[in-house]
Amino acid sequence: MTFRISDDLVAESNRAARPALDEDYAALARQLARRGVDIEAIARAVMAFGVAIPTWGVGTGGTRFARFPGPGEPRGVEDKIEDCATIQQLVRATPRISPHFPWDFTSDWAGLREAAAARGLAFDAVNSNTFQDQPGQTLSYKFGSLSHVERAVREAAIAHNKACIAIGQKLGSKALTVWIADGSNFAGQSNLTRAFDRYLESMREICAALPLDWRVFIEHKLYEPAFYSTVVADWGTSFAAALELGPQAQCLVDLGHHAPGVNIEQIVARLTRFGKLAGFHFNDSKYGDDDLDAGSIAPFRLFLVFNELADAALRKAAGFAPACMIDQSHNVTDPIESLMQSAIELQRAHAQALIVDRAALASAQEANDALGAHLELKRAFLTDVSPILAMARLRSGGAVAPIATYRASGYRDQKARERPAAGGTLAGIV
Ligand code: AFD
Ligand code: MN
Ligand code: MN
């Protein structure tokens, strides 16, 4: 039996935190009531909110230069499930995990599904990987995958995506996320039109293999690893592809995959308007695909994204069912701590967006009261909803103070003993 954080420890630390929480929650309830907001409705919405954890997120990430492995890193998908279950045990906002293949390959899919279910976890979107060659792979992805000039390479990449769908069906997933690294490094290296045509042709074949109740999420990214052109570089390309590929294809927004300064919340509004918003890879960034912790650099931007989601939910936008996931690379923190804090920051943005006075906002907008409208948003954003988040965790069986409880449990030290370092020099990825 491997180490688990005991329910007694969680209960004990919750008992200590309870009096202060009750006071803060009551004070916030009175403040919100003055604004016509029922705190209990917000608490219920926070409890219903869930974000998926990527299985690759519980391992230490890396950069182009190095990877500094942390102690007790997961050695395989079973260990990853254990870490994801620990996150869910304490924050109660991460009930699903998103696997990546072939990284999470196993010989017993039914067993994996059961192991996850036994820890209260279900499977979210499956992710294919055609951005690196696997050991012994003869048809290389060095010059692309789904858009490669050679048919045989494209076919290998298509077959891999179909295999991911088949695995996902065994795991209970309902979506395939496709991110390709295809692009070029030199002007003239690639025919920009033909490369996209080949991508569409490949994606058509993958879509034909989708079960009827599945969706395919197209993930665009501006640059990297290709630095001159990227085949699916922006939301326009993603949107065009999703239109061509039909109703099962939608556009996934990774917050780090845009040019600096781009108005991401407006992209969210546009995709929602046309029923093409697949969902999100949440993270934060300052320069590019930095994969920093959600809400750590630009929390107001995160709030503005959730503000669009709250607006869309309220007007019951057609085809609106965004799949929320975290996609981060943890280089200097314990990934479990980062993922717990990130899930909380997402709940925070969700709660803040829900307390926006939508009627007052609409009136200010209709009256061309620019500052008045802005202040409605600011009022919600500047409200400290932490007591709601803590109370939601408590009521869901989680920890009032997840990081403090996690640190007190000694989980990481226990895992360092149970999971001896694998050694070697794995390249930094994702
Ligand atoms: C890469 C991409 C993208 C993707 C992830 C997993 O930048 O964010 O979601 O790999 O496939 O980091
Ligand atoms: Mn991503
Ligand atoms: Mn990324």
pLDDT at 428: 46
Q: How far is CA 419 from CA 3, 53, 105, 264, in A?
A: 11, 21, 19, 40
Report the separation in Å between the CA atom of 372 and the middle of ligand 3, taken as the mean of its atom positions.
Answer: 36
Beta strand pairing call for 323-326 and 277-282: parallel
Residue-level pLDDT at 1: 83
CA-closest residue to ligand 1 atom 2: 430
3-state secondary structure 57-91: HHCCCCCCCCCCCCCCCCCCHHHHHHHHHHHHHHH
First-to-last C-alpha distance (Å) of the chain: 31
Q: What pLDDT does residue 429 have?
A: 56
pLDDT tens-place string over residues 353-397: 999 999 999 999 999 999 999 999 999 999 999 999 999 999 999
Task: Take atom 4 of ligand 1 and give the residue whose Cα is closest.
Answer: 179
Q: What is the pLDDT of residue 333?
A: 98
3-state secondary structure of 325: strand
Query: Cβ(51)–Cβ(346) under 8 Å?
Result: yes
Tokens of residue 287, six digits: 């320069």
**pLDDT < 50: residue spans in the chain:** 425-428
| CA–CA dist 122, 426 (Å, integer) | 28
Nearest-CA residue for ligand 1 atom 12 is 430
State the pLDDT at residue 430.
58
Query: Each residue of 420-430: pLDDT tens digit?
Result: 886 554 444 55
Residues with CB under 6 A from ligand 1: 127, 179, 219, 221, 254, 281, 289, 327, 430
